[in-house]
């Protein structure tokens, strides 16, 4: 049984080492990718300011995709840290530091998810505003078209009445 516990300890140690190596690797990559993605999103937002309607929506959709991808990777890193903290807790037992590390790791997962939600929400609100503007523009065009049709109908009706009056006048002349 002691040999089994030793073997379990070695396996847990290897799992923890693997998780820590993954965390370190992912963290280093995210340091660069985070800033690179933020720069790309800001450039896309600036480009979107020069566009209108569906073209602007499409460009903002690219920014949303970039932000969502980064957020997913940030959340995954936080979850990997949580797994490492839980494995440490499992290996060490219910010691105060390990319990605190698990709680902090869980909070970091929620923080990463909140950040992801907040960042993409800003961009999605911009897209929603564009949708509302497109709808308002379409409604205005329809209203303008209807007004133009009403004016044309009034003109046509006025011409018809004038023709009718002219015909009645001609018939009265013929009868005299």
Q: Can you list the alpha helix ranges (DSSP code H) found in 50-176?
A: 53-92, 96-175
DSSP state of 94: S
Per-residue pLDDT in tens (0 to 9) along the chain, 176 residues: 788 878 888 888 899 899 999 999 999 999 999 999 999 999 998 999 888 888 989 999 999 999 999 999 999 999 999 999 999 888 887 889 989 999 999 999 999 999 888 888 988 998 898 889 889 988 999 999 999 999 999 998 888 888 888 888 877 777 76
47-50 long-range contacts, Cβ below 8 Å, gap at least 24?
Answer: 48/126
Residue 126 exposure: Cα atoms within 13 Å on the Cβ side: 23
């Amino acid at each position: 049984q002691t040999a089994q516990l030793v073997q379990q300890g070695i396996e847990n140690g290897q799992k923890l080492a693997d998780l820590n190596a993954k965390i370190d690797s992912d963290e280093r990559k995210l340091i660069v990718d985070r800033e690179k993605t933020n720069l790309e999103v800001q450039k896309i937002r600036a480009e979107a300011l020069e566009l209108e309607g569906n073209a602007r929506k499409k460009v903002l959709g690219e920014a949303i995709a970039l932000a969502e991808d980064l957020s997913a990777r940030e959340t995954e890193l936080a979850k990997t840290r949580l797994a490492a903290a839980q494995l440490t807790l499992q290996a060490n037992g219910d010691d105060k530091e390990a319990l605190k590390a698990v709680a902090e790791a869980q909070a970091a997962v929620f923080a990463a998810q909140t950040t992801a939600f907040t960042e993409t929400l800003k961009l999605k609100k911009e897209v929603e505003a564009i949708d509302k503007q497109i709808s308002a523009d379409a409604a205005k065009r329809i209203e303008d078209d209807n007004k133009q049709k009403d004016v044309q109908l009034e003109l046509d009706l006025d011409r018809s009445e004038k023709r009718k009056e002219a015909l009645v006048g001609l018939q009265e002349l013929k009868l005299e």
